[in-house]
Amino acid sequence: MALDRQDAAAGSPQQRFETLLNTHRGIVFKVASIYCRDVEEQRDLAQEIRAQAWRAYPRYDASRSFSTWMYRIALNVAISFRRSVEYRRRHVSPIDSQALESIPDPRHDADDRLRELYTVIDQLDDMNRALVLLYLEGRNYQEIADVLGISETNVSTKLSRLKQRLRDQVASVRPGAVSLETNDGTR
Amino acid sequence: MELDDLKVAWTQLEQRVEQAESIVRRDYEERKLGESRRALLGMTWGQAVQMVAWIIVVAIVAPFWIEHWRVPHLLAAGLALHLFGVATICTSVMQILLIGRAFYTAPVVTIQRRLAELYRFRVVTSLALGLAWWVLWIAATMVGAKLWFGIDLYAESPQWIQWSLGAGVLGMAASVALARRLADRQTSSPLLRNVIDDLAGCSLLRARRRLDEIAQFERG
């Protein structure tokens, strides 16, 4: 937060925005990679997030956390992007087979952990995807509640349910492989 | 597997994200930030042009039906066109206001609920205003003929008006039926896809699902 204020204090509005965005550049791409699978779509979504953030920047209150502000924009844009006509058009139009082959599919990733991560994410709806992303990013329940617009109790309940669902999934495939974990509302 | 186990995978993802980020950053710098503002201005401009056009139509039609209020068919045609114009102006104003407020800085649930409501509003209004043209063109022709050529089409040929109205009602039903038949087929045109989805009721169903999904997420 102190860094945000420092960053937001110097230079022209565009320079200040660029500096803040650079400090928090990971947010844009993590959100894009969670909501879109192919590289081209991720790039388009990342561009759209940056453009919308710049559009909203004159209203940014420098006394508040830039990361919370940025997460709200990135998640809102990503959910809208997935639901947009443009997105549907791509999925109903014939796709060039050569272009298709050039797109790396993360579900075929050599790394088991990444494959599991994408498998879990693929099963979530847009809102729960946002919740899991913020959790994986290490945000506390208060920050998650602030970004999503739900209560901390709700965040806690939802994460507990998600954890239970994951355990059930694993238990159904690998009986005995379940490790229980406490959920005290902290990371 | 635990949700926390996924954090390890998340860290690996972060390293890949760094590489991709640098590529997009170059793209972004080349395109310049001002372009996005111009694109949104274009959307508002389109709605504004539609609104001004219908204000002109209403300004022409209002004196027409006031002047002919004693002639029922001319009064009905003028009023129908007037009411349609007012409805179109209202939807344009609402969309301009909603586009203007479309900043994504509010919490995710708030924005997504607002966008889902806007989507439902657009679906319902475009369906109602679009289908109305199957019969509204007759009212527009009647008003135009009387206003600019002094011809009362209904007085000249009431059968033509009645047949056209009947054909319009059939056309409405046929377009809905056709859209339902085509609802499952793929189309390459996004505009055609939208029209089919709206007419077949798929868009309205989608809007309801979105609102239900958000309500369920809020409830916990």
We report the CATH number of the domain holding residue A25 as: 1.10.1740.10
SS3 content of chain A, % helix, strand, coil (to 5): 75, 0, 25
In this complex, do A117 and B103 lie within 8 Å of one another by their Cβ atoms? no
B121 touches B155 (CB < 8 A): no
Which residues 181-220 on chain B approach chain A with CB closer than 8 angstroms? 186-188, 190, 193-194, 210, 213-214, 217-218, 220
A128 touches A155 (CB < 8 A): no
Q: Is there a single domain that holds both residue A75 and residue A151?
A: no
Maximum distance among all Cα pairs of chain B, rounded to whole angstroms: 81
* Residue ranges making up the domain that contains A27: 1-103
With an 8 Å Cβ cutoff, is B111 touching chain A? Answer: yes
Helices A2-9, A66-83: axis angle to 10 degrees equals 80
Q: Is there a single domain that holds both residue A183 and residue A113?
A: yes
Q: Is there a single domain that holds both residue A135 and residue A95?
A: no
Hey, what long-range contacts does B130-135 have (CB within 8 A, 24 or more apart)?
B130/B195, B130/B198, B131/B172, B131/B175, B131/B176, B131/B199, B132/B84, B134/B168, B134/B169, B134/B171, B134/B172, B134/B175, B135/B164, B135/B165, B135/B168, B135/B169, B135/B172
Q: Is there a single domain that holds both residue A118 and residue A58?
A: no
Q: Is there a single domain that holds both residue A93 and residue A28?
A: yes
Residue B115: φ, ψ to 5°: -70, -35
- CATH number, domain containing residue A151: 1.10.10.10
Pick from A52, A75, A151: CB nearest B108:
A75
SS3 assignment for A36-73:
CCCHHHHHHHHHHHHHHHHHHHHHCCCCCCHHHHHHHH
CA B190 to CA B200: how far, in whole Å?
15
Q: Is there a single domain that holds both residue A97 and residue A108?
A: no
CA A29 to CA A114: how far, in whole Å?
16
Burial A94-119 (b: 16+ CB within 10 A, else e): eeeeeeeeeeeebeebeeebbebbbe
Radius of gyration of the CA atoms of chain B, in A: 25
Instruction: Write down which residue in A49, A68, A103 finishes a domain.
Output: A103
Q: Which two tokens stand for residue B216?
A: 């369920």
Total domains, chain A = 2
Residue numbers in A near B115 (CB within 8 A) = 80
Pick from B2, B105, B213: CB nearest A127:
B213
Radius of gyration of the CA atoms of chain A, in A: 19
CA B161 to CA A88: how far, in whole Å?
41
Minimal-distance CA residue of chain B relative to A159: B3
Instruction: Write down which residue in A103, A119, A146 finishes a domain.
Output: A103
Q: Which two tokens stand for residue B115?
A: 């966008």
Q: Is there a single domain that holds both residue A54 and residue A134?
A: no
Q: Is there a single domain that holds both residue A150 and residue A76?
A: no
pLDDT in 10s for each residue of chain B, 220 residues: 566 777 777 777 776 666 666 655 655 555 544 454 555 566 677 778 889 999 999 999 999 999 999 999 999 999 999 999 999 999 888 877 776 666 688 899 988 888 888 788 888 888 888 899 999 999 999 999 999 999 999 999 899 999 999 999 999 999 988 888 888 777 777 778 878 888 888 888 888 888 888 888 888 7
In this complex, do B14 and A26 lie within 8 Å of one another by their Cβ atoms? yes
With an 8 Å Cβ cutoff, is B15 touching chain A? Answer: no
What is the pTM for the complete model shown? 0.73
pLDDT in 10s for each residue of chain A, 187 residues: 555 555 555 678 888 888 888 888 889 888 988 888 777 788 888 888 888 898 889 888 888 899 999 999 999 999 988 877 555 555 544 444 444 344 445 545 556 777 777 888 888 888 999 999 999 888 999 999 999 999 999 999 999 988 888 777 666 655 554 443 433 444 3
Q: Closest approach of chain A CAs to the CA of B124, in angstroms? A: 17
Q: Is there a single domain that holds both residue A69 and residue A5?
A: yes
In this complex, do A29 and B220 lie within 8 Å of one another by their Cβ atoms? no
Residues 6+ apart with CB under 8 A from A92: B186, B187, B188, B193
Instruction: Write down which residue in A83, A103, A123 finishes a domain.
Output: A103
Place of tokens 């990371």: A187
Minimal-distance CA residue of chain A relative to B21: A29
Residue B151: φ, ψ to 5°: -100, 125
Q: Is there a single domain that holds both residue A80 and residue A140?
A: no
Of B210, B216, B220, B219, nearest to B113 by C-alpha is B210
Residues 6+ apart with CB under 8 A from A8: A16, A20, A60, A62, A66
CA B105 to CA B151: how far, in whole Å?
56
In this complex, do A59 and B193 lie within 8 Å of one another by their Cβ atoms? no
Residue B69: φ, ψ to 5°: -65, -20
Place of tokens 């443009």: A86
DSSP label of A106 = G
Q: Is there a single domain that holds both residue A116 and residue A167?
A: yes
Q: Is there a single domain that holds both residue A92 and residue A130?
A: no
